[in-house]
């Protein structure tokens, strides 16, 4: 049975991780930064060496086509994203892109041409850390989110996506045709504890939880820390602290719902000034949609009630959400069959993490392949996956592609 070259895949993951690696062992390659540009250029150089046809689209997505026998047949798509969180891991996203590249090289060196084109893609800004929301490249390509709206997104320094795409030379001219696809696969680390805990090599997610992202602004009154009596203060920080606690506690009431407050900014952010304003984010997700709706509803009303009691104002912007994704059963079965052929352990599960497959599966039959995250760690320098599992995942991806291609 055809097998990928595990050492070559490992070397490429390491070479890519060096772009943005810092002393802590974390990788910082935020979307559209110089490091992301360097990663994109390295990826394109490898793909061009394999003779792939490269297309950069207007939101900077990179599509590399490995031509099949019948160029008119509906192609197969695989890939992921190569941008990272600040001080993130070296497998999140990059594994899926580099496994796609490795599969092309394996097919090529074995003189194997698929019946149809194989397209390996690198999606722009999946992480949504520098520019929010995430999954920007796949969302715009799928037609689900307006490109001009995404162009106008700015980072904390006020730089827009469009100007950063132009600056790094990835503001493509023409769309990559959203023609019909035969199948789309994404290999990704699980980013949770299940596979590692159960010592299973491959996860076959049935779908992706429904994500809801908020920006919240709490406005009180800036005042002197020393001469302002406690009674009558309009302390935005105190209001925020109650909101934060209530949000987390509400999510804890429901098994399959999670809530995270990942970003906070206070104004004027000075030791001896009562904060007059606090801006923060909320990320709520859940596999059970009713429970997730209930948590969102309870949290939104709690924010308003707490603001009132603290004599502050609150503005709630629920700026991103998508329905729960369910993957294609035939493709999931092909992945399961491949695991059996390769005698690799597997289990069905769901994805707690967002992925570009949220949008890709709106355009094409889609499915994902997970490999374990040691200790369930991700979005951190501790993110780690055994290379033998990376190779197993790439082999399952290869054989799933071969199965559905014919
Ligand atoms: O947020 C997410 O789930 C993804 O890893 N960016
Ligand atoms: Mn990812
Ligand atoms: Mn991520």
Atom 6 (ligand 1): residue with closest C-alpha?
127
Fold of 211-321: Alpha-Beta Plaits (3.30.70)
Atom in ligand 1 nearest the alpha carbon of residue 127: 6
| pLDDT tens, residue by residue, 304-357 | 999 999 999 999 999 999 999 999 999 999 999 999 999 999 999 999 999 999
State yes or no: cis peptide before 133, omega within 30 of 0: yes
Atom 1 (ligand 1): residue with closest C-alpha?
354
pLDDT band at 39 (very low <50, low <70, confident <90, very high): very high
Atom in ligand 1 nearest the alpha carbon of residue 129: 6
Res 84: pLDDT: 98
CA distance 287 to 208: 7
Torsional sign, CA 332, 337, 338, 340: positive
Res 49: pLDDT: 97
DSSP assignment of 73-141 equals SPPEEEEEE----TTB-SSTTHHHHHHHHHHHHHHHHTT---SS-EEEEEES--S-SSSSSS-HHHHHH
Phi, psi (rounded to 5 degrees) for 59: -110, 15
Atom in ligand 1 nearest the alpha carbon of residue 191: 5
Torsional sign, CA 70, 74, 183, 82: positive
CA distance 29 to 41: 13
Mean pLDDT computed over 94-110: 98
Contacts of 120 (CB under 8 A, 6+ apart): 47, 52, 63, 64, 66, 78, 79, 97, 100, 101, 103, 104
CATH architecture of the domain with residue range 6-209+324-405? 3-Layer(aba) Sandwich (3.40)
Question: Would you list the domain boundaries of the chain?
Answer: 6-209+324-405, 211-321
CA distance 392 to 177: 32
User: pTM of the entire structure?
Assistant: 0.94
Res 180: pLDDT: 86
Crossing angle between the packed helical segments 94-109 and 34-49, to the nearest 10 degrees: 10
State yes or no: cis peptide before 163, omega within 30 of 0: no
Crossing angle between the packed helical segments 6-17 and 387-405, to the nearest 10 degrees: 110
| pLDDT tens, residue by residue, 170-194 | 999 999 987 789 999 999 999 999 9
Q: How far is CA 29 from CA 124, 151, 209, 225, in A?
A: 12, 19, 25, 39
Is 80 exceeded by the pLDDT of residue 297? Answer: yes
CA distance 22 to 34: 15
Atom in ligand 1 nearest the alpha carbon of residue 93: 5
Res 15: pLDDT: 98
Indicate whether residue 353 lines ligand 1 (CB < 6 A). Answer: yes
Looking at the DSSP assignment, which residues form a beta bridge with residue 121? 63, 79
Contacts of 39 (CB under 8 A, 6+ apart): 16, 19, 20, 29, 82, 83, 94
| pLDDT tens, residue by residue, 238-291 | 999 999 999 999 999 998 899 999 999 999 999 999 999 999 999 999 999 999
Is 90 exceeded by the pLDDT of residue 24? Answer: no
**Nearest to residue 93, comparing CAs of 363, 396, 392, 390?**
390
Indicate whether residue 127 lines ligand 1 (CB < 6 A). Answer: yes
Q: Give the 3-state secondary structure of residue 300.
A: helix
CA of residue 187 relative to chain centroid, distance:
12
CB distance 233 to 223 below 8 Å: yes
Indicate whether residue 210 lines ligand 1 (CB < 6 A). Answer: no
Is 90 exceeded by the pLDDT of residue 142? Answer: yes
- The overall average pLDDT reported for the chain is 97
CA distance 163 to 345: 46
Indicate whether residue 134 lines ligand 1 (CB < 6 A). Answer: yes
């Amino acid at each position: 049975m055809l097998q990928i070259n595990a050492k070559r895949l490992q070397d490429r993951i390491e070479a890519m991780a060096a772009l943005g690696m810092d002393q802590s062992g974390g990788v910082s390659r935020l979307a559209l930064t110089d490091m992301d540009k360097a990663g994109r250029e390295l990826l394109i150089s490898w793909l061009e060496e394999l003779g792939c046809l490269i297309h950069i689209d207007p939101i900077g997505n990179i599509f590399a086509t490995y031509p099949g026998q019948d160029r008119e047949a509906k192609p197969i798509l695989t890939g992921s994203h190569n941008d990272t969180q600040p001080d993130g891991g070296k497998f999140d996203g990059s594994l899926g892109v580099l496994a796609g590249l490795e599969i092309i090289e394996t097919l090529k060196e074995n003189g194997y041409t698929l019946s149809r084109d194989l397209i390996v893609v690198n999606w722009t800004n999946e992480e949504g850390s520098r520019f929010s929301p995430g999954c920007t490249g796949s969302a715009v390509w799928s037609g689900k989110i307006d490109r001009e709206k995404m162009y106008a997104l700015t980072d904390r320094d006020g730089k827009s996506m469009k100007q950063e795409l132009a600056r790094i030379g990835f503001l493509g001219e023409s769309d990559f045709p959203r023609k019909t696809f035969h199948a789309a696969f994404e290999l990704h680390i699980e980013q949770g504890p299940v596979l590692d805990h159960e010592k299973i090599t491959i996860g076959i997610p049935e779908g992706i939880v429904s994500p809801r992202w908020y920006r919240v602004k709490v406005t009180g009154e800036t005042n002197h820390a020393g001469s302002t009596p406690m009674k009558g203060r309009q302390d935005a920080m105190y209001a925020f602290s109650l909101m934060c606690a209530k949000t987390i506690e509400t999510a804890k009431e429901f098994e399959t719902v999670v809530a995270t407050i990942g970003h906070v900014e206070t104004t004027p952010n000075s030791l001896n000034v009562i904060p007059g304003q606090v801006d923060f984010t909320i990320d709520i997700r859940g596999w059970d949609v009713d429970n997730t709706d209930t948590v969102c509803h309870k949290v939104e009303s709690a924010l308003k009630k707490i603001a009132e009691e603290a004599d502050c104002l609150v503005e709630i912007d629920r700026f991103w959400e998508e329905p729960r994704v369910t993957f294609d059963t035939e493709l999931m079965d092909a992945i399961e069959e491949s695991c059996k052929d390769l005698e690799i352990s597997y289990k069905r599960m769901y994805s707690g993490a967002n992925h570009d497959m949220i949008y890709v599966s709106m355009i094409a039959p889609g499915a994902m392949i997970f490999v374990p995250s040691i200790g369930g760690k991700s979005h951190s320098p501790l993110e780690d996956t055994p290379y033998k599992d990376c190779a197993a995942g790439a082999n399952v991806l290869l054989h799933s592609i071969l199965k559905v291609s014919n």
